[in-house]
């Protein structure tokens, strides 16, 4: 009898920890640091613009500001599993971008000095719940959870083992001081990365170990001056201006310098990078597309050279000649970047950003 009781107790002792670790406890993600905001007090926790811009900025800009592009949760845990519950704001869908990129989540973990992809959380509707990873060793790890690129998040919780700990990160990485502030278009917002971590802004944030702020507004990076005012509130390490695909020649001629002046007046010594319109693959065949891009880039460079001639310093110009490579394989629809395009774009900007941030 005693032998049977001892065996039973041993069995319970072996099974109980496994059972406890299989039970998930969810924690509101609002308990942990949120990266990627230009200002702390936005319309809602997982949106990008302050309520003061509602009714001030154009409606398309405001609505796109409700997307959570570039936002990320930082936490650490020794759990063997990481799960998420989240509710998307809109249930957006597009015919050229994956649901994982539009409204999914993306988990990375710190391994040595690098951030490594763990897995993504694929959406199934507006209300979602999924286990991103399980059967890990119960070791403390640093995590970063990227939020959707082309949808919003109304609520978000992170699930860990019932016996595990979860808390704010121990490492202050990516570095939050002097973030990189990106402004621009649908490509900059993340179109059409297959998952949030593959947006080039997030790739560069990991490579440079620096917080990135994504102010991409799909089709609406049109040099709205109130967005420049918002950007100017950030004590940035560098401003990256990538608006050319969304503007006309006339808009550049009338708004490019005023937009620049707002940033420069508040940040006299901060580097500002101007990026050309990409050389899209179909320009090889479409004469009208080639002509349009050429005219835009010529206007862009002329105004940039005017600023240089006027004595402006700490401004940089990035040519798009090698942005997408030479094989025509880096877009999903001739315009928006695949993961390959995002990686090539990050490769182009990385040495420039590393130089100005050092």
Max CA separation in the chain (angstroms): 95
Q: What is the distance between the alpha carbons of residues 73 and 106, in angstroms, rounded to a whole number?
A: 10
Judge residue 228's burial from the number of C-beta atoms within 10 Å of its C-beta, 0-12 exposed, 13-18 middle, 19 or more buried: buried
Instruction: Name which of 256-260, 293-297, 339-343, 354-358 the model is least confident about.
Output: 354-358
Q: Are 203 and 349 in contact (CB under 8 A)?
A: no
pLDDT for residue 358? 79
As given in the structure block, the two tokens for residue 201 are 């802004």
The CB density around residue 286, as the number of other CB atoms within 10 Å, is 14
Under the banding of pLDDT at 50, 70 and 90, the label for residue 131 is very high
State the residue for tokens 């065949």: 285
| pLDDT beyond 50 at 166 | yes
| pLDDT beyond 50 at 56 | yes
Q: What is the distance between the alpha carbons of residues 120 and 104, in angstroms, rounded to a whole number?
A: 7
134-144: per-residue pLDDT in tens?
Answer: 999 999 999 99
Q: What is the distance between the alpha carbons of residues 98 and 96, in angstroms, rounded to a whole number?
A: 7
Q: What is the distance between the alpha carbons of residues 50 and 38, in angstroms, rounded to a whole number?
A: 9
294-311: per-residue pLDDT in tens?
Answer: 999 999 999 999 999 999
Domain 23-167 indexed as CATH 3.40.50.2300: no
71-82: per-residue pLDDT in tens?
Answer: 999 999 999 999
Number of H helices, E strands in the chain: 9, 15
Phi-psi region of 2 (alpha: psi -120 to 50; beta: other; left: phi over 0): alpha
pLDDT for residue 126? 87
Q: How is the chain split into domains, by residue range?
A: 23-167, 175-357
Instruction: Name which of 9-18, 206-215, 242-251 the model is least confident about.
Output: 9-18
| pLDDT beyond 90 at 5 | no
Q: What is the distance between the alpha carbons of residues 29 and 85, in angstroms, rounded to a whole number?
A: 10
Q: What is the distance between the alpha carbons of residues 204 and 93, in angstroms, rounded to a whole number?
A: 26
Q: How much is the mean pLDDT over the chain? A: 94
Q: Are 173 and 141 in contact (CB under 8 A)?
A: no
User: What letter would DSSP give residue 194?
Assistant: S
**H or E element: which one contains 213?**
strand 210-216
Q: Is the pTM of this model over 0.85?
A: yes
Backbone angles phi, psi at 342, to 5 degrees: -60, -40
What is the pLDDT averaged over residues 308-325?
96
Judge residue 212's burial from the number of C-beta atoms within 10 Å of its C-beta, 0-12 exposed, 13-18 middle, 19 or more buried: buried
User: What letter would DSSP give residue 161?
Assistant: E
Q: Are 76 and 206 in contact (CB under 8 A)?
A: no
Same fold, 23-167 and 175-357: no
Under the banding of pLDDT at 50, 70 and 90, the label for residue 11 is very low
Q: What is the distance between the alpha carbons of residues 50 and 132, in angstroms, rounded to a whole number?
A: 31
Q: What is the distance between the alpha carbons of residues 141 and 284, in angstroms, rounded to a whole number?
A: 47
- 21: nearest Cα among 133, 167, 160: 160
pLDDT for residue 3? 53
Instruction: Name which of 6-10, 99-103, 178-182 the model is least confident about.
Output: 6-10
**H or E element: which one contains 203?**
helix 200-208
Query: Looking at the domain that runs over 175-357, which CATH code has it been given?
Result: 3.40.50.1110
| pLDDT beyond 80 at 189 | yes
215-235: per-residue pLDDT in tens?
Answer: 999 999 999 999 999 999 999
pLDDT for residue 14? 42
- Upper half-sphere CA count for residue 77 (Cβ side, 13 Å): 32
pLDDT for residue 292? 97
pLDDT for residue 4? 56
| pLDDT beyond 60 at 104 | yes
pLDDT for residue 15? 43
- 237: nearest Cα among 358, 69, 319, 74: 358
pLDDT for residue 64? 98
pLDDT for residue 13? 44
pLDDT for residue 125? 87
């Amino acid at each position: 009898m005693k032998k049977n009781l001892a065996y039973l107790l041993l069995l319970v002792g072996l099974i109980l920890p496994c059972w406890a670790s299989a039970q998930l406890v969810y924690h509101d993600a609002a308990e942990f640091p949120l990266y990627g905001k230009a200002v702390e007090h936005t319309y809602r926790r997982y949106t990008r613009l302050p309520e003061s811009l509602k009714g001030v900025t154009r409606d398309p800009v405001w609505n796109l500001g409700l997307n959570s592009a570039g936002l990320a949760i930082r936490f650490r845990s020794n759990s063997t599993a990481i799960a998420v519950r989240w509710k998307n704001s809109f249930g957006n869908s597009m015919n050229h971008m994956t649901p994982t990129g539009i409204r999914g989540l993306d988990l990375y973990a710190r391994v040595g000095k690098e951030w490594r992809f763990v897995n993504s959380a694929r959406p199934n509707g507006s209300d979602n719940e999924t286990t991103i990873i399980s059967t890990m060793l119960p070791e403390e790890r640093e995590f970063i959870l990227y939020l959707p690129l082309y949808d919003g998040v109304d609520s978000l919780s992170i699930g860990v083992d019932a016996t595990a700990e979860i808390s704010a990160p121990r490492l202050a990485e990516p570095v939050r001081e002097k973030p990189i502030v990106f402004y621009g278009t649908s490509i900059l917002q993340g179109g059409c990365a297959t998952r949030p971590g593959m947006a080039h802004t997030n790739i560069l944030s990991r490579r440079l170990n620096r917080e990135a702020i994504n102010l991409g507004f799909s089709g609406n990076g049109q040099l709205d001056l109130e967005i420049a005012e918002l950007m100017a509130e950030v004590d940035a390490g560098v401003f990256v201006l990538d608006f050319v695909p969304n503007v006309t020649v006339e808009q550049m001629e009338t708004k490019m310098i005023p937009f620049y002046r707002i940033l420069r007046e508040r940040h006299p010594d901060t580097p500002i990078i101007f990026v050309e319109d990409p050389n899209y693959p179909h320009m090889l065949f479409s004469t009208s597309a080639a002509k349009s891009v050429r005219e835009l880039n010529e206007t862009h460079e002329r105004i940039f050279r005017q600023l240089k001639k006027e004595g402006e310093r700490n401004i940089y110009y990035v040519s798009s000649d090698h942005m997408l490579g030479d094989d025509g394989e880096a877009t999903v629809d001739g315009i928006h970047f695949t993961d390959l395009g995002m990686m090539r774009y990050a490769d182009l900007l990385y040495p420039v950003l590393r130089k100005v941030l050092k």
